[in-house]
A and B are shown apart, each in its own frame.
Chain A
Amino acid sequence: MMRLSWFNVVSLTFGFVFLYLPMIILVIYSFNKSKLVTVWAGFSTKWYGELLQNEAFLNAAWVTLKVAVISSTFATILGTMAAYVLVRSGRFFGRTLFSGMIYAPLVMPEVITGLSLLLLFIGIGMDRGVMTVVLAHTTFSMCYVSVVVSSRLFTFDQSLEEAALDLGCSPAQAFRLVTLPIIAPAVISGWLLAFTLSLDDLVIATFTTGPSATTLPIKIYSAVRLGVSPEINALSTLMIAVVTVGVILASLASKRNVAKMRQEEIAAVRAE
């Protein structure tokens, strides 16, 4: 086994401090009594209280959640289909274009995606609101889902599907009974990814939304442009907390599963 040199230790320490310190500071100052965010005036949770009174924020949060749940569900269905096409369908007319359209949105500047979708919605005379944001978010997050799912499908033993066909499944049954349960973890993490992408998105939502549907990032952005505010700190802390707890729980669960499986495998070999 290679050993960590002092250089490795320093770069890791520096790197993680750099990644986490700003967020830790943000969290700490959300408990600051003073309205002046840069001066510490004692511990208080009053900003959380005020946040919960702020109806505009709560409304925006509700809209955001709605958009995220719907768009990530559609994105997961479409993205999984696209991944299956990419990995399994071999050659077909337009395959290069298809894979291009899957990978391009991953790196496309959001201003361009947002602008072009807005012009489309206006062009076809669609009223802007929750619906248009959902369509926009579904489109760009389905590409992320398809990348996550296709990387799982690449390592998927194709003979499992063949075995299902061989034992009497129709192709659709083989997918439902064998492929889907096995790739489920990847599909779920694709959904989660799509969900957080939708929660986070400011630029595309700003372009594609109408006055009726203000999402949380739009609300935060317009507040933040005026400067740092303790209420936003409190909101950010809540969002960071939810994500952190979620990610840690998910990774602990998957770690436990892996460890359990490994143990059982060893036990099975020993029992031989």
Chain B
Amino acid sequence: MAATEFAPWEDPQAKPLICFRNVTKRFGEFTAIDNVSLDIYAQEFFALLGPSGCGKTTMMRMLAGFENVTEGIIELDGADVGDVPPNKRAVNMMFQSYALFPHLTVWENIAFGLRRAKIPADDLTNRVEEMLKLTRLERFASRKPHQISGGQRQRVALARSLAKAPKLLLLDEPLGALDKKLRQETQFELMDIQEKTGTTFVIVTHDQEEAMTVASRVAVMDEGNLMQVATPDRIYETPNSVYVADFIGDVNLFKGTAKPVGEDQYQINWVESLPPLNATSSLPLNDGQSCHLAIRPEKVAINAEKPDDAVNAVQGKVVDIAYLGNLSTYYVELPDGTVIKAQTANTRRISRRSFTWEDPVWLSWTATAGVLLDS
């Protein structure tokens, strides 16, 4: 199993394709990127995720060569690319607006980069045809960008940026302009194309679901810093900070003080009138150190009776129910006023829903369900 898994970042021998070394970028007084170091490996599908203004786009534009680095070094394949202009980099970019040339046909758009590279006519034609086939655009080759739909434009942009077979493809919010249904289909198409071509993809997105779906690794960014770089499941299951836990998915956060009660076992005192919470964590916390316990709503069970074997159980009443079709989220208010979210899958029809407004319920979760974070 371990042999087939793609995880070069765990291999100390692997050489990264891209290497940010203590990179800082300032625009005047404003620090967009603050001393970031990051390795990205060949054939990765790497996502830069964060809210707008977090610096993810600046990271990408520095890779493409549109922004200079203020301090630090960016290496591509072992060579410093600091002084290489965008037109001399083996990096291509797919723009958020697609930036298709409106005066050129689909075919000419895809051929544009190849022509600049002075590729012989036959090879050029073959390569364009290959790209058209890869992105299923053969029928639209002679159309202008305004004569095709949004989804097709997105594929033209992808084909154009892949045509020169770059070492690295940068994708700036590639699916942002598509509606939700098309976006989901296109996500898988992107992954498929990435796999087929073996190109390294770096995608910038603010959509966590998109990042989690397509990426081999995700970097969560905030205010010019990398908060956490890990695989999607690690990011979700073991966030390393309150920020990441809160940014990715839904979460219940309990603020309290830790008390070690055994090896990797802690009790968290959080509200005086309520019993302490039990959690397992390898985090070394001192007695009385303040911390957060983060628990995903789907890991909180909701029952009418107190479960006998529960390590953590609190009673409250249902104040709100968000019905999402496949799931329902219950908002349960505890006696002290705290509201906890609990999520259950709707395997039964709605008319037979177990709980309704004002119902007294018990919430419970295991010691390993939550993640302990020091604050």
Contacts and interface: CB of A to CB of B under 8 A. Distances in A.
Interface of A: 157, 159-160, 162-170, 173, 177-178, 181-182, 261, 264-265, 267-269, 271-272
B64 interface: yes
B146 A268 contact: yes
B149 interface: yes
A177 B85 CA distance: 18
B147 A168 contact: no
B41 interface: no
A167 B160 contact: yes
Given A163-B93, A163-B99, 13 more contacts: A160-B99, A162-B93, A165-B86, A166-B93, A166-B113, A168-B88, A168-B164, A177-B112, A268-B148, A269-B149, A271-B149, A272-B151, A272-B152
B97 A167 contact: no
Contacts of A268: 143, 146-149, 152
B102 A182 contact: yes
Nearest to A158: B99
A165 B148 contact: no
A159 B93 CA distance: 10
A200 B310 CA distance: 92
A188 to B, nearest CB: 14
B236 interface: no
Please classify how large the interface on chain B is, using the bins under 10, 10 to 19, 20 to 34, 35 or more: 20 to 34
A157 B146 contact: no
A265 B164 contact: no
B353 to A, nearest CB: 38
B103 interface: yes
Interface in B221-248: none
A37 B303 CA distance: 102
Nearest to B116: A168
9 contacts: A159-B97, A162-B66, A162-B95, A166-B92, A168-B88, A178-B101, A182-B101, A264-B147, A268-B148
B281 interface: no
A272 B95 contact: no
Nearest to B88: A168
Contacts of A168: 87-88, 113, 116-117, 164
Contact of A264 (B97, B99, B146): B146
B275 to A, nearest CB: 57
B146 to A, nearest CB: 5
